[in-house]
């Protein structure tokens, strides 16, 4: 990880995010707990990426998978 504010940003978006978090911490915009949580979130995001490189769709809830809504027809008299 880069610990200086000089030099070009890395080409990897993940490494660039880590550098940005470190800079925000150094400049006092985030505290140690927030910086740690942010770095862990970046790390978790990189581990959850599937093998084909595309992110998975997040599920709307932890319960049953989403079922599409059906359009109810009005009752005819």
Element (H, E) at 65: none
Distance CA 14, CA 67 (A): 34
The answer on pLDDT for 23 being more than 50 is yes
Tens-digit pLDDT profile for residues 40-76 = 999 888 777 666 656 556 555 555 555 666 666 777 7
Higher pLDDT residue, 35 or 44?
35
> CA angle, 9 as apex, 38 and 12 as ends, to 5°?
70
Domain hosting 30: range is 13-47
In a domain, 27, yes or no: yes
Percent of the chain surpassing pLDDT 70: 55
Average pLDDT, the chain: 75
Give the total number of structural domains in the chain. Answer: 1
Please, what is the angle between helix 32-48 and helix 13-26, to 10°?
170
**Residue 69: per-residue pLDDT:** 63
Whether 73 maps to a domain, the answer reads no
């Amino acid at each position: 990880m880069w610990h200086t504010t000089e030099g070009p940003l890395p080409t990897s978006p993940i490494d660039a995010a880590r550098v940005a978090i470190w800079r925000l911490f150094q400049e006092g915009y985030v505290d140690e707990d927030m910086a740690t949580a942010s770095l862990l979130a970046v790390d978790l995001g990189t581990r959850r990426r599937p093998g084909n490189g595309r992110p998975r769709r997040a599920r709307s809830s932890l319960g049953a998978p989403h079922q599409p809504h059906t359009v109810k027809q009005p009752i005819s008299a």
